Structure 1
Amino acid sequence: MTPLSALRSVLLLLLSAADVAVRSSAGVSLPSSQLLSGISRRLEFVSVSESHYDHTHHTHHHHEDAPDPHLAPTNASREVFLGATATLDCTVYDLTNQSVSWMRRQVGDSLTLLTWDTHIYVHDDRYGLVQEEGDGWKRWRLAISDVATSDGGQYRCQVATTPPLVLDAALTVLEPRVRVVEEGGRDVEEKHYNSGSRIELQCVIDRIPFPPRKVTWRRGDTILAFNTSRGGISVKGDAESGFLASRLYVTNAAPSDSGRYECWYHTYAADSVTVHVIAGENSAGLQHDKPPGSSSSSAHTSPVWSWWVLVTLPCLTCLTYATPPPPPP
């Protein structure tokens, strides 16, 4: 018998004794056998009700353990174009009151705290934190706008459980590639023209997002925006393959047009070519191209860029989008 049962039995005995005393004081006498029978019935009732109470009490307080927090099974690593916005997601299921943090792994395997719950600790306005939640899950999304090359690296989401839940994510920043090419699609460092001919330069740009940033041609520190009958610029792009192609035209070339010309994608990347205009006989075409690592080469007549439509002169900087063939290898 448990202590509680014993206590209740004693109380019942006392109540029975008090009942007998009351009856005796009132002049009512009971046989001893009837008194013992009443006490026995009370003890039997206590024993049965106690057993039933124990079972009910045990069933009432039995609960299944709540599920532990766990991370969504996903690959959090991302590739993003230079200048775009990078997002890293950390989704946690069955979270109760545990905090969630984003950190960045530095050289030497040290960790720098970026965010903790709703607080941002990095002193960089490009960083933001977006919180979302649904049925049984919460998501902490780290956002980095205008991504720079230096933002690439290893990041970590950590949930303050015991032991901590950890999600590692790699951020890869894709830098644009700009190449000045000849008609055959090969890189070129120098181009030679006769006086009076037409200068025609072209560059291809890949690994870029769409809509793209601006493409410009420069000669020295001067941005070329031809608004006379001497020149024009065309830009075409293919969003599916993620590349742009641009051409620069200068008619009636003169020795003063010689120099270094650069094709720029925004301020991120550029390539250049040196143009030599030689005084002499009038020529309608290209005289010499010099690809990297060679002394000279003859002009190529393969119509690789036959899809281009010649810009009507005079022309301001022209910007159009079409579906060109894939860029040369």
Structure 2
Amino acid sequence: MCPNITCVIVNVPEPDTEIVGGPELFIDRGSTINLTCVVRHSPEPPAYIFWNHNDIIISYSSSRGGVSVATERGETSRSVLLIQKAKPSDSGNYQCNPSNARPANVTVHVLNGEHPEAMQHAGNQRMGPSLGALAFISYVLLAYC
């Protein structure tokens, strides 16, 4: 007699990382850069989420000041990077790098009074944070302050 063989196929989604509003964001000089990284479909929450600016890990205690991060771990994890008083040197590539998922990138342009309509870029462009990001930050600030 042949043994019974049962074949089970399990589809496990690969963890997905996204920076809300990307791949490009246009921010006015002097305003707050608000980047929200969302990690979905992770078998467990990431142990950490690092943020990089132009391939260098962001230090939250740097002499620049005004840089903070709030992270919420769960079935869907979120990390919000806030940079107060944006200046042109804050422009560049930002990367959200969770411990257990692929990184996500966004290019930030800090504008000196220019209008993004005059720049020729493909894709959707948004100014500033989304309503959902603002609600999340408000929640974090109320919960921890």
TM-score range, shorter chain: 0.7 to 0.9
The aligned amino acid for 1:206 is R
Structure with larger Rg: 1
**CA distance 1:227–1:236, shift in 2 (3 Å):** same
- Structure 1 residues without counterparts, runs of 5 or longer: 1-161, 183-187, 282-286, 313-320, 323-329
State the number of aligned residues. Answer: 136
Q: List aligned pairs for 1:110-129, cutoff 5 A.
A: none
The answer to whether the Cα contact below 8 Å between 1:254 and 1:277 also exists between their aligned partners in 2 is yes
Greater relative CO (CA pairs within 8 A, separation 6+): 2
Secondary structure at 1:262 match in 2: strand
1:264: how far off?
A: 1.8
- C-alpha deviations, 1:154-201, integer Å up to 9, x for none? xxxxxxxx223322222433211111113xxxxx21111232222111
1:165 maps to 2:4: yes
**CA distance 1:202–1:171, shift in 2 (3 Å):** same
**CA distance 1:252–1:262, shift in 2 (3 Å):** same
**CA distance 1:199–1:299, shift in 2 (3 Å):** closer
The answer to whether the Cα contact below 8 Å between 1:230 and 1:252 also exists between their aligned partners in 2 is yes
- Structure 2 residues without counterparts, runs of 5 or longer: 117-121
Identity across the alignment (%): 27
1:276: how far off?
A: 0.9
Q: List aligned pairs for 1:45-84, cutoff 5 A.
A: none
- Give the Cα–Cα distance (whole angstroms) in 1 for the partners of residues 70 and 49 of structure 2: 10
2:80 corresponds to which of 213, 230, 247: 247
Secondary structure at 2:30 match in 1: coil
2:72 corresponds to which of 236, 241, 245: 236
**CA distance 1:303–1:211, shift in 2 (3 Å):** closer
- Residue 177 of structure 1 is matched in structure 2 by 16
The answer to whether the Cα contact below 8 Å between 2:26 and 2:126 also exists between their aligned partners in 1 is no
1:191 corresponds to which of 21, 25, 38: 25
- Residue 203 of structure 1 is matched in structure 2 by 37
- Give the Cα–Cα distance (whole angstroms) in 2 for the partners of residues 260 and 171 of structure 1: 36
The aligned amino acid for 1:232 is S
2:104 corresponds to which of 252, 264, 271: 271
**TM-score under structure 1 length normalisation:** 0.36
2:137 corresponds to which of 301, 308, 313: 308
- Give the Cα–Cα distance (whole angstroms) in 2 for the partners of residues 301 and 165 of structure 1: 54
1:232: how far off?
A: 0.7
**CA distance 1:250–1:298, shift in 2 (3 Å):** closer
Secondary structure at 1:256 match in 2: helix
